[in-house]
Structure 1
Amino acid sequence: MRATFHLKTLAVAIATISVASMTNAAGLDRSGQDVTAFFQDGTYAEAVYTYIDADVSGKDSANNVPSSNTYVEGGDTGDIAEAYDFFRYGVKTDINDTFSIGILYDEPFGAAAEYTGDSNFVSKGDQNASIQQLTNGQFNGATLGPTIDALKDQAAAEPDAEVRAGIVQQITNLSTVGAIAQAEAGNAGENTNVEVRSQSLTGLLGMKFGANKNFQVYGGPVAQRIQADTKLRGLAYGPATGYTSTSNPDMDYGYIAGVSFSKPEIALKAALTYRSEIDHDIQISETYPLAGLRALGAGASPAQAEAAANRSSDYEITTPKSVNFDFQTGINPTTLATAKVRWVPWSDFVITPPLYNAVSISSGLYGDDGLDLVEYEDDQWQVELGLAKRVAPALAISGTVGWDSGAGDPTTSLGPVDGYYSVGLGAKYNVTKNWAVSAGGKYLWFGDAQGALPTDKIVADFQDNDGYIAGVKLSYQAQ
């Protein structure tokens, strides 16, 4: 009965090319952390290449006043999503009819975005124009300094403590405007961009049990490496313009565990997989021009100001846990149905670089905890349904529909997409008894989202965006 279903030719090509990229999945999710290679029969190996190209463009905000969070439609941002590709590999074999082992490699988390052109996410370098934008035309390069000096004299002569405090706050606000304009000028022509890369190696040991060996428990260690680079440029980032950070690569460890059930006579396989959080202790180098300019304004020497603006330290990033559910069943001898569900609690994930956070705390505006550089409001839910049809002894075709909930709107300006809907097509051709080639693609409609700063200021609006994914897989199977 099992052979009737022709499992090798029913395998769904597109379902093995997981939905990916920060521009079409929630948070930093890319590969979907697929483990279905481990559930293949006999000895199995695969190599998968995936290419993602997305158009994520919108409008920046014409309101660059740091104290105002009101969004005012500005100019075009251009396409901020960079094309991205990655590989996934997997191999497994059965030791006997009870135990199986496998190794999987993927690139689970990442981001690749860059703002170019003439938007407020690119440093212009004109201090006079910057001051005018930052003060809504109230001051310019010629009037800002004298105004600050006059306010200082006024504060010194003011006997009323409450009134004096108000004047001091005005001085602080205008001094910040001057520092922002100076930091902006110091990075003229530079673009905002972010790149996050990760690699993961998973070892698996499975044990089958039950009268017919239908059940399996599996698990093992996970080694994960992650690194990141961030540049914030342009008046959109206010006091943070000019901020730069480089996080050195870090390797740390977690685990995977799951349970599966199979019923070969109807080609049914179901698996529930849990991946743990992984804590990374990362060395980071940060540059924050505003911190140095503030130090200079407070009387620090140039050397002291440079030290205030640059810091190397350690901090922690915890990549999120996840749960994947994979399901397939034969509908008839030539047709297979599939379903994938994925949950990732991105609402628990934050990136909090030490210098960035310390500057936000010193402002006195954001409490004792200060600001995170990246955070998300919601958890991710991802669903994909598919059908595969054997149309010839060595050929199967497949189609999928998918949905991703996103991780909240507004979201970070470094990844302004709120989920997606997708459709996909794929095919698998058995070149020989053991070797097969699969290929497929997906088209995605992205959810509209507003890009926000950690201060909750809306700095951009992204609508009507789309993208595509293309992939190819080479697989070997011997039963």
Structure 2
Amino acid sequence: MRSSFTIKPLVTAIAAFSVASVAQAAGLDRSGQDTTAFFQDGTYAEAVYTYIDADVTGRDAAGNKVKDIAEDYDFFRYGVKTDIDNKFSIGVLYDEPWGAAADYHGNNDFVGSPSRVADSLISSRLGNGAPEADNIGVNNVEQFKNFVNATPDRLAAGQQQLATLQGFEQQLDAAIASGAPIAAIDQQVAQTAAQLGRPDIDSFAAFQQLVTESEQALAEGQANYQRLRGLEGVLDTALANTEATEVEVRSESLTGLLGMKFGQNNNYQIYGGPVAQRLKAKVKLRGNAYETATGYDLNVNPDIDYGWIAGLQYSKPEIALKASLTYRSEIDHEVTASEYLPLAALRGVPPNQANKMEITTPESVNFDFQTGINPTTLATAKVRWVPWGDFKITPPLYNAASQFDYGPKGLNLVDYDDDQWVVELGLAKRLQPNLAISGTIGWDSGSGDPTTSLGPIEGYYSVGAGAKYNLDENWAISAGGKYLWFGDAKGQIPNGNIVSDFKDNDGFILGVKLSYQDK
């Protein structure tokens, strides 16, 4: 009975299952960093294409509808391995582990000219309740522009009044030089000052002080006018930007593996190797939702850095049992971040900068398990953990500008509250010698709610199905799909303000795989 329960008919089933087990939702997780290709027998190679289509809609804080922000997303995964002998195996895996693609559009707080942000800035700096030195009684952009446009006329009137005062002062200087009595000079000053509406000026000394104060007031008014023109220019730049919020993150990973089997029947295998990872990103924050960060651009130039992978596998071929535990390290990227934050100029911070920045992609742990139930049926389980609670992106300019309002630590552009857990269970069944089908159910915990407005999803539940057809003894093609019910999530900006609410969203994943195996 035991001898008929071999792995050969089950290989077909497990390969069909694996093609549907792709793509995660928490944080920036995408590929799930699958390593099962390395555990296939003999020489094995696969190429997998995955397409993700999600429908993520909601409303902004003002109640405006936010149309689907999730861009269609696709990526490839490749794997090849071979056994050197009955002890050692080598392999190379390629995948695209981290990514994001979101694009806001429509009539909502994430798109268009940030008029409310500009009005709020004017009101807090110059309006009623603003610091006394700046309280000029304007509370929105329209009032501000009217005030600025009228300022040259006010300055001209002040200049004319100052010229009158200076001319009278020269007359008094000439009278004093000719020997006129000071009492007569003071009387003349009092009469003239009264005509000017300044009855408090009753002496030549007081009049000289008035001239000095008028000169200072005019100089301050001219300087303030230039400051207001600068503020107007910054606001005009921000208001002219009518684009939409966008985010795109792409990564590529190349993993080299060396495995060594040991134990009485080579049931155990340890494996590990280096990992090279390439990362790039682009972010645009637009509209009223992002407050003083509106108009922000971040471009992260492609960077390659390195980490490592290690794991332990146990197998029992007579019952098709395989279990593996795989750890992947963090990878530290020191990237060049090009940033533009127009409203930073109001704080005296250069709005256009290029700085070095560190982005650390997270470590992860994958547990993969399978066991035969009967000669044609296989049960499978996958568990994945990623500590997104430790992840953050802190661009230097963005952080420096935020310190004025939020203290010396400033704000991160992206961070998460919780770690991610993924659990997926499945069954695979061989229907014919060359045909197998599979089904899965899954759960992803997400990485916290509220979460970043750039990816407002709180995990998912999923069901999936797949099929594999053997073209001949070595070649096979597989196809699979997964339907996902996304968890409701509130989107927040880095200062903690809730700016959106996303509910009742879903998506699907399609995958196709071409594989070759020679035992």
Aligned-partner Cα distance in 2 for 1:464–1:424: 19
Q: Which runs of 5+ in 2 are unaligned?
A: 129-138, 152-227
**Aligned pair 1:428/2:481, yes or no?**
no
**Equivalent of 2:263, from 210, 213, 227?**
210
CA deviation map 1:392-445 (0-9, x unaligned) = 110000000000000000000000000000000100111100001000000000
Structure 1: gaps (5+ residues) = 63-73, 151-173, 296-304
Report what 2:30 is aligned to.
30
What's the CA shift for 1:130? 5.3
Partner of 2:311: 258
Distance 1:339 1:4, change over 3 A: closer
Where in structure 2 are the equivalents of 1:4-403 lying within 5 Å? 6-20=9-23, 24-62=24-62, 74-124=63-113, 127=115, 131=119, 139-144=139-144, 182-188=236-242, 190-295=243-348, 308-361=350-403, 363=404, 365-403=405-443
Q: Percent identity?
A: 65
Write the letter of the residue equivalent to 1:198. Answer: S
Residue 140 of structure 1 and its aligned partner are, at CA, apart by 2.7
> Residue 464 of structure 1: SS of its match in structure 2?
coil
SS in 2 for 1:142: helix
The verdict on how the C-alpha distance between 1:178 and 1:432 changes in structure 2, with shifts beyond 3 A counting, is same
Shift of 1:181: 5.0
Count matched residues: 427
Per the normalisation by structure 1, the TM-score is 0.85
Measure the CA separation in 2 of the matches of 1:175 and 1:376: 40
Query: What code does the residue aligned with 1:99 have?
Result: F
1:6 partner SS: helix
Q: Tell me the alpha carbon deviations over residues 454-478 of structure 1, each in whole angstroms, 9 at most, x when there is no partner.
A: 0000000000000000000000000
Please give the per-residue CA displacement for 1:235-263, whole angstroms capped at 9, x wherever unaligned. 10010000001100000000000000000
Q: Distance in 2 between matches of 1:406 and 1:121?
A: 23
SS in 1 for 2:406: coil
Distance verdict in 2 for CA 1:80–1:180, change over 3 Å: farther
Confirm or deny: 8 A CA contact 2:423 2:443 kept in the other structure: yes
CA distance in structure 2 between the aligned counterparts of 1:349 and 1:75, rounded to whole angstroms = 31
The question of whether the paired residues in 2 share the 8 Å contact of 1:183 and 1:241 is answered with: no
The residue that corresponds to 1:163 in the other structure is: none
Structure 2 equivalent of residue 437 of structure 1: 477
Q: Which amino acid aligns with 2:332?
A: D
| TM-score normalized with structure 2 length | 0.78
Q: Which amino acid aligns with 1:245?
A: L
Query: What displacement does 1:267 show?
Result: 0.3
Secondary structure in structure 2 of the residue aligned to 1:402: strand
Alpha-carbon distance in structure 2 between the residues aligned to 1:352 and 1:118: 29
Secondary structure, counterpart of 1:347 in structure 2: helix
Taking only aligned residues, the RMSD between alpha carbons, in angstroms, comes to 2.5
**CA distance 1:461–1:93, shift in 2 (3 Å):** same
Cα shift at 1:366? 1.7
SS of residue paired to 1:242: coil
Structure holding more helix per residue: 2
Contact kept? 1:124, 1:184, Cα under 8 Å: yes
Instruction: Give, as a single letter, the amino acid of the residue that structure 2 aligns with 1:435.
Output: W
The aligned residue for residue 70 of structure 1 is none
Counterpart in the other structure of 1:447: 487
3-state secondary structure, aligned to 1:359: helix
Name the aligned partner's letter for residue 451 of structure 1: G
> Contact conserved, 1:328 with 1:336, CA < 8 A, in 2?
yes
SS in 2 for 1:217: strand
In the alignment, is the contact (CA less than 8 A) between 2:485 and 2:507 conserved in 1? yes
Q: How far has the Cα of 1:16 moved from its partner?
A: 3.3
Q: Is the 8 A contact 2:64 2:108 kept in 1?
A: yes
Contact 2:238-2:343 within 8 A present in 1 as well: no
Assess if the C-alpha contact under 8 Å between 1:176 and 1:239 holds in 2. Answer: no
What SS is found at the alignment partner of 1:38? helix
What is the letter of the counterpart of residue 357 of structure 1? Answer: N
Deviations 1:202-237, CA, capped at 9 Å, x for gaps: 000000000000000000000000000010000100
8 Å Cα contact 1:179-1:293 kept in structure 2: no
Closer, same or farther in 2 for the Cα pair 1:80/1:463, shift >3 Å?
A: same
Deviation at 1:349, TM superposition (A): 0.4
Partner in structure 2 of residue 459 of structure 1: 499
Distance of 1:468 and 1:18 partners within structure 2: 12
Structure 1 distance, partners of 2:339, 2:442, is 39
Tell me how far 1:10 sits from its aligned partner: 2.3
Give 1:185 shift: 1.1
- State the alpha-carbon separation in 2 of the partners of residues 89 and 355 from structure 1: 38
Structure 1 residues 175 and 392, CA gap change in structure 2 (3 angstroms): farther
Kept after mapping to 2: 8 A contact 1:380/1:406: yes
